[in-house]
Amino acid sequence: MERQAERDIERQRAADKRAGRKIAAKSVERQTARIPDGTEKIIMRPRGGFVRLLKYGSAYLADAILCAAGVSLDAAGEDVFSMNSKQHTILVATINAESKRKYADLKLLVFEGEKIEVTTYVAMPEDCGKGVVHEVPLTYSDADILQRLRTYGNPPVLGVRRLGKTSRTVLIFFEDKEVPRWVRLTPMAQGCVIYRKKYEVFIACGRLGHRDDVCPDPAKVKCRGCGMEQPPQGHSCEPKCQLCGKGHSLGDRKCRELYRVPYEVKKKQLERKNNMRQQQQLQKQQPAGETAEGTPRGRSKERRDHEDFCATTDSFPRLEETTEKQHGRSSSHTRGRSGSRPRERSSSRDPAQPWPRKRSQSKDQNSVSFGSGVSQANDKQAEEIDKLRKEVGALKEVIEKLTQELHRPKLQARTGSPSPQNVQPKLVSKPIPPAPVAAHPAQPAAPEEEKMIVESARPPPMKRKGEDVDPLVALEKRLEAKIDAKFDSFMAQIMGATQQTQSQIHGLTGEAQKHRAE
């Protein structure tokens, strides 16, 4: 029963949040006029709203603004006015610097003889970073704050603006989209957070969508707790927020739904959803027996992760075994498993900066989901293990090629193909030219000289069979000894590299298990 009650409460809160988001979306009006690119924007807030100013039409209101600002019709040819009927503001867009200054200096409108106060400020570009700094003394003017930001080596700043005349909170516009964690207005650093717009709530009338200075009808009051129209003076109720459904009044600072999500954060969330949708589609396209990663189903997630990251000896494929006939060696010579050199990790750090590291507007959103960070770390470790396995496969191919090259001379010797060492030069007999005839009569040769000539003409004696040595057998023995020595040294190197790779993968496995434990 308790669980069912908790589920009902959660469902009711979710329904209240959805309804509150619809209410908040209705309180914001989109721009009807197209604003040209490269224009400067000025926001005007006429006191009391501009509903009463429109009783003579929007053209009359535009002429009144041009007359009060002192801008001629020729100069205002490319200017654009856009009115927001829900927030009761007027957006003025211009490309003329002189017209921009005149619109920004406008403080008073004369309408049918009535003087109406106007609050104006220059809007900053949408593609800049916006940060908020609290507890800024009221004695600091906007020019002083801007000068202090530039003096103390902060990131480049476009402008500053206080969030209220008596507010100690300052909005800073940075040139980059990234907002720094800290800024310095004095030698002491102050925290800087990402600016988030909030839905305007007028406390006096209790309505959503406009501020107190532009309320069109302050006398029409609505209870911010229960939403009752025109509550009596002694009215008491149990407050319930219209945006989130929790027990506080509308517009309370505790309400998380009061603040809008920045565009950069929305963009990151949309990209993350698209990636998850693509992964789900890939998983559906896989066969029924395998998942998107190729692992068979029917195992628990912990066991599957353990098998993916566990570095056992089965993770290294065996080299193809060759028979004794191919190698001419005993089968007791077994081969070890191939390994790869451990991949070197290079930890590159950014050079020392004079200012702390910036953060993007989406960092708060990323820091909320801890599971996404763990999954990213697991993915990186899985990629490293896949690279190591690919290196092992490449090294296996290299070993096979080297083995074939080492055994090629032995196979040639067995087939009987002539080797360059066994080829003996052929003796070519050339005719001996006749000796010249001497003038005096020839004398008979000495017996010793005649004996030497006869012996040199005889062929060399044949060796006995016991002393004959087959040159092919000798060559085979020498090649086999060399191959054994080279193979043993090569396998010793591979075993050393394999042990290093196993230790590295064990380290990655330990890190993955720590991430899962956390």
Does residue 174 lie within any of the structural domains? Answer: no
Does residue 81 lie within any of the structural domains? Answer: yes
Q: SS3 sequence, 393-433?
A: HHHHHHHHHHHHHHHHHHHHHHHCCCCCCCCCCCCCCCCCC
Residue 37 confidence (pLDDT): 77
Does residue 47 lie within any of the structural domains? Answer: yes
Q: What is the pLDDT of residues 342-364, one digit of tens each?
A: 444 444 444 434 454 444 444 44
Both structure tokens of 11: 């469902």
Beta pairing class for 114-123 and 89-94: unpaired
Task: Kindly tell me the sign of the dihedral angle through the C-alpha atoms of 411, 412, 413, 415.
Answer: positive
Check whether 102 has a pLDDT greater than 80.
yes
CB 124 within 8 A of CB 158: yes
According to DSSP, residue 124 is labeled: P
Does residue 200 lie within any of the structural domains? Answer: no
Q: Which of 35-44, 140-149, 156-165, 379-388 has the highest mean pLDDT?
A: 140-149
Percent of the chain, pLDDT > 70? 62
Check whether 333 has a pLDDT greater than 80.
no
Which residue among 64, 92, 123 closes a domain? Answer: 123
Classify 177 as helix, strand or coil.
coil
Average pLDDT over residues 400-423: 61
Range of the structural domain that residue 119 is part of: 34-123
Q: Cα 259 from chain centroid?
A: 27
CA-to-CA dists, residue 251 to 10, 200, 206, 360, 514, angstroms: 22, 8, 9, 28, 43
Closest CA to 388 of 483, 507, 468, 484: 507
According to DSSP, residue 169 is labeled: -
Q: What is the pLDDT of residues 215-274, one digit of tens each?
A: 666 677 777 777 777 778 777 888 877 777 777 777 777 777 777 777 777 778 888 888
Both structure tokens of 297: 């189903």
Does residue 475 lie within any of the structural domains? Answer: yes
Helix (H) or strand (E) run with residue 155 in it? none
Burial of 438 (0-12, 13-18, 19+ CB in 10 A): exposed
| Banded pLDDT at 426 (limits 50, 70, 90) | very low
Average pLDDT over residues 304-317: 45
Check whether 412 has a pLDDT greater than 70.
no
Q: Return the minimum-mean-pLDDT range out of 289-298, 410-419, 482-491.
A: 289-298
Does residue 335 lie within any of the structural domains? Answer: yes
Does residue 499 lie within any of the structural domains? Answer: yes
Check whether 468 has a pLDDT greater than 90.
no
The residues, ordered by sequence, that sit 6+ positions from 152 with a Cβ below 8 Å of its Cβ are 184, 185, 186, 187
According to DSSP, residue 469 is labeled: -
The residues, ordered by sequence, that sit 6+ positions from 299 with a Cβ below 8 Å of its Cβ are 307
According to DSSP, residue 203 is labeled: T
Both structure tokens of 119: 């609050």
* pTM exceeding the 0.75 threshold for the entire prediction: no
Task: Kindly tell me the sign of the dihedral angle through the C-alpha atoms of 446, 448, 454, 456.
Answer: negative
Beta bridge mates, 358: 180
| Banded pLDDT at 462 (limits 50, 70, 90) | low
Q: What is the pLDDT of residues 31-80, one digit of tens each?
A: 556 777 778 888 888 887 777 777 777 888 888 888 888 888 888 888 88
Burial of 295 (0-12, 13-18, 19+ CB in 10 A): middle
CB 501 within 8 A of CB 341: yes
Both structure tokens of 240: 């319930």
506-511 contacts at long range (C-beta below 8 A, 24 or more positions apart): 506/311, 508/309, 508/311, 508/381, 508/384, 508/385, 509/309, 509/310, 509/311, 511/377, 511/381
Closest CA to 49 of 117, 2, 122: 117
Q: Which of 190-194, 256-260, 328-332, 458-462 has the highest mean pLDDT?
A: 190-194
Q: Can you tell me the distance from the alpha carbon of 220 to that of 213, in angstroms, rounded to the nearest whole number?
A: 15
Check whether 290 has a pLDDT greater than 70.
no
Closest CA to 86 of 19, 22, 20, 26: 26
Both structure tokens of 53: 């100013």
More confident residue, 28 or 441: 28
Residue 145 confidence (pLDDT): 92
The residues, ordered by sequence, that sit 6+ positions from 24 with a Cβ below 8 Å of its Cβ are 199, 208, 243, 257
Q: What is the pLDDT of residues 185-219, one digit of tens each?
A: 999 999 998 888 777 776 666 666 666 666 666 67
Amino acid symbol at 307: E
Q: Can you tell me the distance from the alpha carbon of 318 to that of 321, in angstroms, rounded to the nearest whole number?
A: 8
Classify 505 as helix, strand or coil.
helix
Residue 88 confidence (pLDDT): 78
CA-to-CA dists, residue 40 to 34, 96, 113, 281, angstroms: 14, 8, 30, 45
Q: What is the CATH number of the domain that holds 107?
A: 3.30.70.330
Q: What is the pLDDT of residues 1-33, one digit of tens each?
A: 677 777 777 777 777 777 666 666 656 656 556
Check whether 432 has a pLDDT greater than 50.
no
Check whether 182 has a pLDDT greater than 70.
yes
Number of domains in the chain: 2
CB 336 within 8 A of CB 495: yes
Q: Can you tell me the distance from the alpha carbon of 63 to that of 73, in angstroms, rounded to the nearest whole number?
A: 9
Which residue among 79, 103, 123 closes a domain? Answer: 123
The residues, ordered by sequence, that sit 6+ positions from 413 with a Cβ below 8 Å of its Cβ are 419, 472, 475, 476, 479
Does residue 233 lie within any of the structural domains? Answer: no
Q: Can you tell me the distance from the alpha carbon of 398 to that of 497, in angstroms, rounded to the nearest whole number?
A: 15
Q: What is the pLDDT of residues 104-136, one digit of tens each?
A: 888 888 877 778 888 888 887 777 888 999 999
Check whether 476 has a pLDDT greater than 90.
no
Both structure tokens of 389: 């396995």
Mean of per-residue pLDDT scores for the chain: 70
Q: Can you tell me the distance from the alpha carbon of 55 to that of 111, in angstroms, rounded to the nearest whole number?
A: 11
Q: Can you tell me the distance from the alpha carbon of 515 to that of 518, in angstroms, rounded to the nearest whole number?
A: 5
Q: Can you tell me the distance from the alpha carbon of 161 to that of 176, in angstroms, rounded to the nearest whole number?
A: 17
Which residue among 64, 90, 123 closes a domain? Answer: 123
Number of Cβ atoms within 10 Å of the Cβ of 499? 12
- What are the two backbone dihedrals, phi and then psi, of residue 101, each rounded to the nearest 5 degrees? -65, -40
Q: What is the pLDDT of residues 358-400, one digit of tens each?
A: 444 444 444 444 445 445 656 777 787 888 888 887 887 888 8
